[in-house]
């Protein structure tokens, strides 16, 4: 019998490739149990097709010559009470790449095909086991970089955002019904405009709550981005390495060594930090170095926190003072000042700072305002790390929304919001219930795309391309 692409039996390894005791293979589709039964041998001599659903059995996987590939555990699950909504077998085997590939090869030889990225989760959506929001949440759960993100993602997996969207959907459907009723009874001068306005205001309040602190949500989701910025040879790369605890950036005494941004991630306490080492700030005729300096300013704009590094053993030029002042003016709230090279501070740069620099920056550049550190000896590096953690904690504390949105969800919610704002504007002018109904239906269509009830195949494929093969 021929099945559609979404009913064909698929197979993939669900656990990461690499060393470990066991691996998990998932097989799902209409013929999943029949296919695996052909390569499974149980001590009881029973067939997997004869076993009750949601039971686990010890047995062996054999090849076409009936030779042993591995001793495994089979978990048998009959549709529809499975993750995908289809018949499913999960095989736990020893985590050896030759064993894993041999089992997969046998399953494919008996009629299955390799799963595509996120195809198991996609089938769960298509079979109405979860909605698209929950599907995206599964991917977020796998890649959560912070404990806060993990907690909020787990809540979303149970449907917190989906529940909020369902309430909005019910309200929009009610508003559409009232608008169309107003259009039908217009000759009788019966309208429901007050009720429609009340519903729209309520939905807009719900949307504002969902959108709240979106930029902070990205910090929670992706971790915090920390840019290390300062003049040439201020010791930025040495500080970068000191915070990482290993030599990641090239450190030399030659000015301008770092000509482009270098990134490295590190878990610190409950947070994931991305450290960015940038090119030094100075005048240069070198085209490549100029591009690196431009990117340093771009990194300052992208960063959640800026470590503004000063060479406390050198004089600041007029140009450097102007650049530092400009950075402080623009990004004061996310800057931590770091006075590096405290171990060799023979000519403190404070002596070179012109008086008007304080006026330009609006911030007194006193030594006590920052951290005097030595990347070489490690002096005060732990204190700087504590200050970074404190600033990260403040960033996360500001994100009070219970939801985590990705860019696709955020853009669709914004589209719904714009439609509703347009309806509010109509109520301040001459009312056309036909146009109001049209805008409400457009908003509902955006909502359906958000949850996956009405989403193009192209968009669906793009979303699940971000998933790993076995999910």
Provide the pLDDT confidence category of residue 356 given band limits of 50, 70 and 90. very low
Gap between the Cα atoms of 174 and 196, Å rounded: 8
- Tell me the pLDDT tens digit for each residue of 319-329: 777 778 888 88
* pLDDT score of 357 more than 80: no
Please state whether beta strands 224-230 and 113-114 pair in parallel, antiparallel, or not at all (unpaired). Answer: unpaired
Contact (Cβ atoms closer than 8 angstroms) between residue 312 and residue 341: yes
Where a domain ends, among 355, 375, 397?
A: 397
The CA–CA distances, whole Å, from 461 to 116, 117, 119, 121, 299 equal: 10, 9, 9, 12, 32
Task: At 48, list the tokens.
Answer: 């997997």
* pLDDT score of 269 more than 80: no
Which contiguous run of DSSP H or E holds residue 69?
strand 68-77
Does 385 share its domain with 410?
no
Gap between the Cα atoms of 172 and 178, Å rounded: 10
Mean pLDDT of the chain: 80
Whole-number pLDDT of residue 190: 63
Average confidence (pLDDT) over 116-137: 89
Helix extents (H) in 12-77: 32-37
Mean pLDDT: which of 148-152, 261-265, 301-305, 399-403 is highest? 301-305
Provide the pLDDT confidence category of residue 283 given band limits of 50, 70 and 90. low
* pLDDT score of 347 more than 70: no
Gap between the Cα atoms of 444 and 169, Å rounded: 7
Which of left, alpha, beta for 111 (phi over 0: left; psi -120 to 50: alpha)?
left
Does 225 share its domain with 351?
yes
Helix extents (H) in 273-402: 287-302, 318-331, 355-361, 381-397
Q: Please, which residues bridge with residue 228 across strands?
A: 277, 307
Gap between the Cα atoms of 33 and 351, Å rounded: 79
Does 227 share its domain with 349?
yes
CATH, residue 50: 3.30.1360.120
Which carries the bigger pLDDT value, residue 23 or residue 241?
23
Q: Which residues contact 401 (CB under 8 A, 6 or more apart)?
A: 209, 210, 211, 212, 213, 214, 217
Contact (Cβ atoms closer than 8 angstroms) between residue 314 and residue 347: yes
Contact (Cβ atoms closer than 8 angstroms) between residue 147 and residue 155: no
Q: What angle do CA 69, 75, 80 make, to 5 degrees?
A: 135
Does 232 share its domain with 373?
yes
Which carries the bigger pLDDT value, residue 132 or residue 356?
132
Task: At 141, list the tokens.
Answer: 């759960």
Does 305 share its domain with 349?
yes
CATH, residue 330: 3.40.50.300
Does 97 share its domain with 239?
no
Average confidence (pLDDT) over 16-33: 91
Instruction: Kindly state whether residue 130 falls inside one of the protein's structural domains.
Output: no
Which contiguous run of DSSP H or E holds residue 457?
helix 457-464
Does 238 share its domain with 302?
yes
Instruction: Kindly state whether residue 129 falls inside one of the protein's structural domains.
Output: no
HSE (side-chain half, CA atoms, 13 Å) at 215: 6
Contact (Cβ atoms closer than 8 angstroms) between residue 437 and residue 181: no
Instruction: Kindly state whether residue 125 falls inside one of the protein's structural domains.
Output: no
Instruction: Kindly state whether residue 338 falls inside one of the protein's structural domains.
Output: yes
Gap between the Cα atoms of 409 and 455, Å rounded: 13
Gap between the Cα atoms of 286 and 155, Å rounded: 51
Where a domain ends, among 355, 370, 397?
A: 397
- Tell me the pLDDT tens digit for each residue of 230-243: 888 888 888 888 88
Which carries the bigger pLDDT value, residue 89 or residue 466?
89
Gap between the Cα atoms of 9 and 109, Å rounded: 12
Instruction: Kindly state whether residue 1 falls inside one of the protein's structural domains.
Output: no
Instruction: Kindly state whether residue 86 falls inside one of the protein's structural domains.
Output: yes
Does 225 share its domain with 199?
no
Number of residues written out for the chain: 471
Instruction: Kindly state whether residue 172 falls inside one of the protein's structural domains.
Output: yes
Which contiguous run of DSSP H or E holds residue 448?
helix 433-451
Instruction: Kindly state whether residue 278 falls inside one of the protein's structural domains.
Output: yes
Is residue 321 helix, strand or coil? helix
* pLDDT score of 14 more than 60: yes
* pLDDT score of 47 more than 80: yes
Whole-number pLDDT of residue 430: 66
Does 372 share its domain with 411?
no
Burial bucket for residue 33 (CB in 10 Å: 0-12, 13-18, 19+): buried
Helix extents (H) in 185-285: 193-211, 214-222, 236-244
Does 458 share its domain with 312?
no
- DSSP code per residue over 96-111: -HHHHHHHHHHHHHTT
Helix extents (H) in 355-406: 355-361, 381-397
Where a domain ends, among 397, 415, 433?
A: 397
Please state whether beta strands 55-62 and 40-41 pair in parallel, antiparallel, or not at all (unpaired). Answer: antiparallel
Q: Phi and psi dihedrals of 380, rounded to 5?
A: 65, 10
* pLDDT score of 79 more than 90: yes
Number of domains in the chain: 3
CATH, residue 446: 1.20.120.430
Average confidence (pLDDT) over 262-268: 79
Residue ranges making up the domain that contains 349: 219-397
């Amino acid at each position: 019998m021929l099945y559609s692409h979404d009913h064909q039996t698929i197979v993939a390894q669900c656990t990461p490739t690499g060393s470990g005791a066991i691996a998990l293979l998932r097989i799902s589709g209409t013929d999943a149990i029949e296919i695996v039964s052909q390569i499974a041998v149980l001590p009881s001599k029973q067939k997997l097709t004869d076993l009750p659903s949601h039971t686990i059995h010890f047995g062996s996987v054999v090849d076409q010559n009936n030779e042993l590939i591995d001793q495994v555990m089979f978990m048998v699950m009959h549709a529809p009470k499975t993750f995908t909504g289809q018949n499913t077998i999960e095989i736990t085997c020893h985590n050896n790449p030759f064993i894993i590939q041999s089992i997969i090869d046998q399953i494919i030889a008996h009629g299955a095909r390799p799963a595509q990225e996120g195809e198991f989760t996609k089938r769960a959506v298509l079979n109405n086991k979860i909605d698209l929001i929950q599907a995206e949440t599964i991917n977020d759960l796998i890649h959560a970089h912070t404990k806060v993100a993990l907690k909020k993602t787990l809540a979303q997996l149970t449907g917190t955002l989906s529940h909020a969207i369902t309430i909005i959907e019910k309200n929009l459907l009610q508003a559409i019904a009232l608008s169309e009723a107003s259009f039908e009874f217009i000759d009788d001068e019966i309208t429901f405009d007050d009720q429609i306005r009340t519903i729209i205001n309520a939905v807009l309040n719900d949307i504002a709550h969902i959108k709240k602190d979106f930029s902070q949500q990205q910090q929670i989701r992706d971790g915090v981005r920390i840019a290390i910025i300062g003049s040439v040879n201020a010791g930025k790369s040495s500080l970068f390495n000191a915070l990482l605890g290993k030599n990641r950036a090239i450190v030399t005494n030659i000015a301008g060594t770092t000509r482009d941004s270098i990134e490295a991630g590190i878990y610190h306490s409950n947070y994931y930090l991305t450290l960015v080492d940038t090119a030094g700030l100075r005048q240069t005729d070198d085209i490549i170095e100029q591009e690196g300096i431009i990117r340093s300013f771009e990194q300052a704009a992208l960063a959640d926190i800026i470590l503004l590094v000063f060479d406390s053993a050198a004089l600041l030029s007029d140009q450097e003072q102007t650049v530092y002042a400009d950075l402080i003016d623009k990004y004061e709230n996310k800057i931590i000042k770091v006075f590096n090279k405290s171990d060799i501070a023979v000519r403190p740069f404070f002596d070179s700072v012109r008086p008007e620099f304080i006026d330009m920056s609006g911030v007194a550049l006193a030594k006590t305002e920052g951290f005097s550190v030595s990347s070489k000896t490690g002096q005060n590096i732990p204190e700087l790390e504590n200050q970074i953690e404190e600033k990260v904690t403040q960033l996360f504390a500001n994100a009070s929304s219970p939801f985590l949105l990705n860019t696709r969800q955020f853009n669709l919610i914004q589209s719904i919001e714009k439609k509703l704002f347009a309806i509010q504007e109509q109520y301040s002018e001459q009312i056309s219930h036909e146009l109001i109904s049209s805008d409400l239906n457009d908003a509902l269509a955006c909502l359906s795309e958000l949850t996956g009830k009405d989403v193009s195949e192209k968009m669906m494929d793009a979303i699940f391309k971000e998933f790993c093969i076995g999910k």
